[in-house]
């Protein structure tokens, strides 16, 4: 940083979501002297720390003093200064990996060192969101070959912290996503941990979906566990259900996800690198991967599912991970609830062996848990499902789940999920017939418009699944919202297209074979 100028730091209460943003007055002497412009990148330094930030220019004197440097919430936390502290600011040098990025934009194949340089710069927040978007679009348009995916995954692991549990095997289960209500991880973890296997489960929060596993777990327990606290809980209880971002296990992936999800970019290469980098950083040696297949799932054709399976297997093998990939039925949501509280309700019902618990969620979780248990050298192939079912039926899974919740920090809702959002609208069947199909994406969008996951009790409560017989005027699902505006948003979209296809009995497709 050449000839930095000094300003007073001011915390600006703006959430820029994983992007460092600096705010400068247009009439600031430093702006005039240094020629800073909107969207330029600057280097900000104080107390031996420095960050790279994108400049936003302010014209309102009420927002920022003439000789102040405003910092977004993300930038303020990254820099670690107190408000009013003197900070130095200067033009930032371009990221060292920029030539590699330009090469990928031009369709070039990148090598190990080039991808490692890009990932280091991403993790250090040296790229703006526009540059990140360019990288993501380029890797989608010019699809990464399998060795590029391997190098990208390895680089993402190297850029963050990594657990070493000093035992074998360390197991995990993960789904590629796209299916609302698919909260099997919250059942698999306590079953596997109760069996005695180590399962340090880290999950993501939702960006464009109605809930991630971390959002659903967060209605019952704390999920933002620091690295060392997560280690203690897993050692004591053999498992956890935590948000991966707090432990900084794959920081480059967290930054990339903040851009890729809103853009609905989910290329196979990025997906493989994202998932496997998080699992390897968490210390996992064995992984069961769920790839749902269906007309409104992320993967819609069996050939695509097989190609994705082979890519996962190739990268996992070269990075020392034993991988079991299962292609499952993704034609409709799993369970009945879509949204954090509704999904937590379904999970608790299964754990309590409630006879009204959603059977599809219970059965899928038992099958996945059984596959994980078969990584235990003392469990023979084909025996895992029965062992998992015994652990669930006996109450041992519930006891383990309660222990994990207590260790992470139980939320003040006793042993039940918090209440649902109070405003309700029922979406009714337009015709007599059989539910032939349910659109995952449509139902997820309606749940988000209702307020999920930001409003934990908002979402969609399904009353019928594929194959059910319904009468004209009967409710198909209920929308829960906390405000009239959110309920109206969701209602209007549902009235245009409910997401349900009603037809004759013969039109309801048979379940897709899985496992």
Catalytic center residues: 266
User: Rounded CA gap, 155 and 143, in Å?
Assistant: 18
Q: Element (H or E) spanning 157, and its range?
A: helix 146-158
For 359, 417, 437, the CA distances from 342, given in Å and listed in that order, are: 15, 8, 21
Tell me the residue ranges of DSSP E strands in 281-392: 286-293, 322-329, 337-338
**What number of helices (H) and strands (E) belong to the chain?**
18, 18
Q: Report residue 510: phi and psi, to 5°.
A: -70, 150
* Residues 189 and 309: beta-carbon distance below 8 Å: no
Task: Indicate the burial class of 45 (C-beta count within 10 angstroms; 0-12, 13-18, 19 or more).
Answer: middle
Q: Please, are residues 121 and 156 in contact by the beta-carbon 8 Å criterion?
A: no
User: What radius of gyration, in Å, describes the C-alpha atoms of the chain?
Assistant: 24
The answer to whether 91 and 43 are in contact (CB under 8 A) is yes
Q: What's the rounded Cα separation, in Å, for the pair 172 and 197?
A: 10
Strands 322-329 and 286-293, sheet pairing: parallel
CB 404 within 8 A of CB 239: yes
Count of alpha carbons within 13 Å of 401, Cβ hemisphere only?
A: 24
CB burial string 310-323: b at 16+ within 10 A, e below: ebbbbbbeebebeb
Q: Are 142 and 107 in contact (CB under 8 A)?
A: yes
Q: How many CA atoms lie within 13 A of 22 on its CB side?
A: 34
CA distance 218 to 243: 9
β-bridge partners, 258 = none
297 CB neighbour count, 10 Å cutoff: 21
Contact 277, 153 (CB under 8 A): yes
CA distance 318 to 320: 6
User: For residue 422, how many other CB atoms are within 10 A of its CB?
Assistant: 11
């Amino acid at each position: 940083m050449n000839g930095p100028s000094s300003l007073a730091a001011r915390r600006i209460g703006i959430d820029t979501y994983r992007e460092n943003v600096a705010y400068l007055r247009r009439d600031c002497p430093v702006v005039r002297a240094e020629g800073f412009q909107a969207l330029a990148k600057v280097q900000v330094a104080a107390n031996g720390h420095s960050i790279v930030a994108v400049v936003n220019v302010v014209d309102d004197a009420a927002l920022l003093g003439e000789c102040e440097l405003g910092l977004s919430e993300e930038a303020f936390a990254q820099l670690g200064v107190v408000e009013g502290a003197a900070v130095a600011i200067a033009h930032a040098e371009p990221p060292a990996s920029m030539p590699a990025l330009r090469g990928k934009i031009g369709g070039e194949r990148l090598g190990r060192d080039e991808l490692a340089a890009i990932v280091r710069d991403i993790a250090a927040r040296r790229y703006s969101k526009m540059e990140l978007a360019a990288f993501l679009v380029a890797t989608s348009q010019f699809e990464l070959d399998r060795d590029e995916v391997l190098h990208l995954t390895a680089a993402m692991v190297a850029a963050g912290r990594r657990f070493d549990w000093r035992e074998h095997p360390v197991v995990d289960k993960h789904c590629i996503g796209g299916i609302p209500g698919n909260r099997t991880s919250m059942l698999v973890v306590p079953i596997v941990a109760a069996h005695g296997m180590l399962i340090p489960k880290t999950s993501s929060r939702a960006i464009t979906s109605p809930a991630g596993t971390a959002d659903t777990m967060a209605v019952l327990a704390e999920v933002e566990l620091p690295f060392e606290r997560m280690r203690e809980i897993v050692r004591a209880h053999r498992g956890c259900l935590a948000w991966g971002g707090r432990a900084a296990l794959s920081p480059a992936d967290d930054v990339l996800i903040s851009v890729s999800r809103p853009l609905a970019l989910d290329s196979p290469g990025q997906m493989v690198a994202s998932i496997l980098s998080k699992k390897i950083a968490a210390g996992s040696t064995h992984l069961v991967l769920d790839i749902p297949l269906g007309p409104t799932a992320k993967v819609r054709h069996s050939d695509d599912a097989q190609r994705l399976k082979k890519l996962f297997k190739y990268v996992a093998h070269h990075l020392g991970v034993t991988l079991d990939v299962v292609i499952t039925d993704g034609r409709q949501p799993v369970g009945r609830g879509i949204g954090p509280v509704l999904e937590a309700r379904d999970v608790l019902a299964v754990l309590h062996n409630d006879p009204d618990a959603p059977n599809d969620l219970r059965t899928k979780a038992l099958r996945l848990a059984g596959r994980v248990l078969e990584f235990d050298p003392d469990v023979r192939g084909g025996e895992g499902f029965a062992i998992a079912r015994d652990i669930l039926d006996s109450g041992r899974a519930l006891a383990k789940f309660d222990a994990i919740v207590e260790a992470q920090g139980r939320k003040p809702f006793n042993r039940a999920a918090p209440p649902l959002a109070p405003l309700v609208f029922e979406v009714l069947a337009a015709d007599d017939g059989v539910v032939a199909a349910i659109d995952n994406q449509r139902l997820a969008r309606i749940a988000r418009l209702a307020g999920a996951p930001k409003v934990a009790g908002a979402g969609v409560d399904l009353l019928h699944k594929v194959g059910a017989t319904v009468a004209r005027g009967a409710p198909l699902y209920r929308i829960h919202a906390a405000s009239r505006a959110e309920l109206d948003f969701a209602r209007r979209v549902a009235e245009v297209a409910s997401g349900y296809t009603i037809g004759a009995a013969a039109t309801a497709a048979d379940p897709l074979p899985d496992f």
